[in-house]
Amino acid sequence: MAEVLRRKLVLSGSGSASGGTYQEVKVSGECTIYGHLDCTEFKIYGTSHVEGDVKTSFFKIMGNSIIVGSVDAADARIYGESDIGGDLSVQRLKLFGSVKVGGSLTGDTLSIGGEASVQKDCEAETFKVNGGFTIGGLLNAGLIEIVPYGPCHAREIGGGTIKVQRSGIGYQLHKLFHFATARDHYLTADTIEGDTIHLEYTKARVVRGARVVIGPGCQIETVEYKEILELSADAVVKEHVKV
């Protein structure tokens, strides 16, 4: 079968276009695209509204984008704001702005340096956050590293290694210039379960793990551990049980 000939779609100013198969889709002004998009690159420097799904190798948002459907991208970089009505499926995500996902978020490597809101589940190999997030369902990843620069919440969290810390030069500088909001920089979850768990400034009903460290600022109802448990003097744990 012959390969589909892809053409570029470059839009400046204000206008609209039809969905379809393209090489590069680039919007520098304000544009509405009617229908699904299958393109090699999707770049938004202005404002876009897509009435359909977007499938692309490279997804870059520097402005504001609303996508009614789902997004399937190999490499996604969001520096502005993106509102996705369906699922967001990526291999790599670098988020420095904000994203709202009406469905689930899945990927290999998810790096969140801004704010993410996911209505359903989030699943990845690596999930790293220097920012804030809300996940309505399960957060599941082999490696989870969270530095809460804002409220972080998931209904349930599961992983191999889970690490939550308020530490490092970056966090100390953020706290210095945003001291009024630093008290809101917590992770909250109903249950947290993993092999190796190190928590700081975390509120949870149940924490389950093989090797568990409950650090400063934690408020945990029950800790269940298999091998090792370390408790900070600045943590509140109502009950801990070796299983």
Give the tens place of pLDDT for each residue, 52-61.
999 999 999 9
Question: Domain residue spans in the chain?
Answer: 1-103, 112-243
CA 141 to each of CA 126, 195, 240, 241: distance values in angstroms, whole numbers, following the listed order: 6, 12, 25, 25
Q: What is the DSSP string of 191-238?
A: EEEEEEEEESSEEEEEEEEEEEEE-TT-EEEEEEEEEEEEE-TT-EEE
Give the tens place of pLDDT for each residue, 2-34.
455 678 999 888 989 999 999 999 999 999 999
% pLDDT > 70, the chain: 91
Residue 85: band (very low, low, confident or very high) from pLDDT cuts 50, 70, 90: very high
Residue 64: band (very low, low, confident or very high) from pLDDT cuts 50, 70, 90: very high
What does the mean pLDDT of the chain come to? 92
CA 135 to each of CA 7, 92, 121, 123, 138: distance values in angstroms, whole numbers, following the listed order: 37, 18, 7, 11, 7
Q: Which helix (H) or strand (E) holds 145?
A: strand 122-164
Give the tens place of pLDDT for each residue, 88-139.
999 999 999 999 999 999 999 999 999 999 999 999 999 999 999 999 999 9
Tell me what pLDDT residue 124 has: 98
Tell me what pLDDT residue 182 has: 55
Q: What's the CA dihedral at 141, 112, 109, 189 to 10 degrees? A: 10
pTM of the model: 0.91
Burial 212-235 (b: 16+ CB within 10 A, else e): bbbbebbbbeebbbeeebebeeeb
Q: What's the CA dihedral at 162, 164, 170, 173 to 10 degrees? A: 180
Instruction: Give the residue-averaged pLDDT of 64-85.
Output: 98
Instruction: Give the residue-averaged pLDDT of 176-197.
Output: 78
Burial 158-194 (b: 16+ CB within 10 A, else e): bbebbbbbbeeeebeebeeeeeeebeebbbbbebbbb
User: Would you say 101 and 84 are in contact if contact means Cβ atoms under 8 Å apart?
Assistant: yes
Tell me what pLDDT residue 130 has: 94
